[in-house]
Structure 1
Amino acid sequence: MNVASKTQLEPKENTKSESLTEYLIEAIVNGEIEPGSKISEPELAKRFSVSRGPLREAIMRVEGLGLIERIPHIGARVTTFSPKKLLDLYAVREALEGMAARLAARLITDEEIDALEQVLSTHSKHIQDSEGQSYFHQHGDFDFHYCIIKASRNEQLITLLCGELYHLLRMYRYQSPRSHSRPNDALNEHQFIFQAIKNRDEELAEMLMRRHISGSRILIEQQIKNTD
């Protein structure tokens, strides 16, 4: 897809590097700028009437998140997922998010528990409205996993999972094929994880989170085998 196509995420005039960064992140995550697409600095600079300095800064930020990669003699392109890269990502995610769930069960506040319960209620309504065809794809405070990671109070985990890995995971979640039963399965698993955290059961929270992410990894492996 041409980067210069119209988009609902188009930044306002006189946009700065932060707005360009947000635009590029969301356009890549939701597939508007397709995996493997070339990132053209002259094209983007002309489109948004910005100098190359802020634009290059935005591209470097997105590159730092792993959403853009530089290929020798080719230039900057949107990241593509190889089977190995994707499975490696989920293996790291399983370990780190399991730890985050354990810490959240220990450290989460009552206010955060209420907020997490509201997130699940929102997700449940979305699944009902979509007749079980899709999960609620949001980020930040509306993302169940994100909320748990933040509640872990561990800055290293937060930096890794909410920074370096977060948007790569969002990109795959947006663009991956899903079985029709998975949204309901995912919601049920989230509810069990929530109850373990609410009950301050650290061991159970970690086990359920690891099992939840392992289930997603197994689905990915099956999808990869089916396309071979």
Structure 2
Amino acid sequence: MHGNGAYERLLAEIRNGQLLPGDRLRETELAERLGVSRTPVREAIRQLEADGLVAHLPRIGASVRRLDYAEVMELYEMRAVLEGTAARLAARAASDIELEEIAAIDGDLANATDGAEAFRLNRMFHAALLDAAKNRFLHRSMTALQKALMILGPTTLAESDRLEAAKEEHAAVLAALRAHDGAAAEARMRAHIEASQRARLRTLRTVH
């Protein structure tokens, strides 16, 4: 495995919550676990640091970066703007096939009871909606934002109350998309992101 392979593995572990904010990245341990030498691990850590996902702390070394309160607020503000815009554009531009795909993902999410599965389907729902918006500049902006989203911490969808509320919020967005009502789709997506933000802030206060 070369440096890029090690990077992709560690990136996936951050995305999937195997590596959490604050977790230390020890080169020797990671090299042994990934079955590679320390050189590709070192390269991967440098790349993750360039992405803003890893920080070097005095006397501690490399660790998955933990966002502070202001960063979390700013991240959700931008997410509401970008994903709200994506929903508005998708309501206008989505084809019947794309709407069927979004609806199928939403149907699977409606039946999900496990937090990890709900997290995976939630990502698929938002990705499919972004694709349906058909705006390359918006897509690039969301791609940059999504890396920061990886280090928010464990998904709030692991909480049963939040999961059930998110299912209803997704259904409301989908109904607006099907009606080709851009204003309603944007408003409902913004409401969904703001509800997610409130759940995240509750989690942060519990942790701290």
Q: TM-score range by the shorter chain?
A: 0.7 to 0.9
Match in the other structure for 1:147: 128
Q: 1:139 to 1:156 in 2, by over 3 A?
A: farther
Q: Is the 8 A contact 1:18 1:58 kept in 2?
A: yes
CA contact (8 A) 2:88 2:185 kept: yes
**Structure 1 residues 190 and 83 mapped into 2: Cα distance closer, same or farther (>3 Å)?**
same
Q: Percent identity?
A: 30
- The counterpart of 1:189, out of the listed 156, 165, 169, is 169
SS at structure 2 position matched to 1:45: helix
The corresponding residue for 2:92 is 106
Code of the residue aligned with 1:187 in structure 2: it is K
Q: Are 2:20 and 2:153, in contact at CA under 8 Å, matched by a contact in 1?
A: no
Written as runs of structure 1 = structure 2, the 5 A alignment for 1:10-89 is 15-71=1-57, 74-89=60-75
- In structure 1, what is the equivalent of residue 141 of structure 2? 160
TM-score computed with the length of structure 1 as normaliser: 0.76
Once residues 197 and 177 of structure 1 are traced to their aligned partners in structure 2, the CA distance between those partners, rounded to angstroms, is 23
Aligned-partner residue type, residue 126 of structure 1: A
CA gap of 1:54–1:159, structure 2 versus 1, over 3 A, is farther
Q: What do the CA deviations read for 1:112-171 (whole angstroms, capped 9, x no partner)?
A: 1111111011111213xx5xx77611169x62112111222222221222x322243244
TM normalised by structure 2 equals 0.82
- In the alignment, the residues of structure 2 paired with residue 40 and residue 225 of structure 1 have an alpha-carbon distance, to the nearest angstrom, of 29
- Equivalent residue, structure 2, for 1:136: 118
**RMSD between aligned residues:** 2.9
Gaps of 5+ in 2: none
Task: Indicate the residue corresponding to 2:160 in structure 1.
Answer: 180
Q: Give the total of aligned pairs.
A: 208
1:227 and 1:47 map into 2 onto residues whose CA distance is 29
Distance 1:170 1:198, change over 3 A: farther
Answering whether residue 92 of structure 2 is matched by residue 92 of structure 1, we say no
Which residue identity does 2:184 align to in structure 1? Answer: L
Worse-matched range after superposition: 55-64 or 115-124? 55-64
Counterparts of 1:227 and 1:44 in 2: how far apart (Å)? 27
Instruction: Give the number of the structure whose residues are more often helix, by fraction.
Output: 2
Structure 1: gaps of 5 or more residues:
1-14
Q: Which residue in 2 is equivalent to 1:9?
A: none
Q: What is the aligned partner in structure 2 of residue 122 from structure 1?
A: 108
Residues 58, 198 of structure 1: alpha-carbon distance in 2 compared, 3 angstrom cutoff: farther
Q: CA 1:35 to 1:185, structure 2 compared with 1: closer, same or farther past 3 Å?
A: same
Query: Do 1:97 and 1:149's aligned partners in 2 also have CA atoms closer than 8 Å?
Result: yes
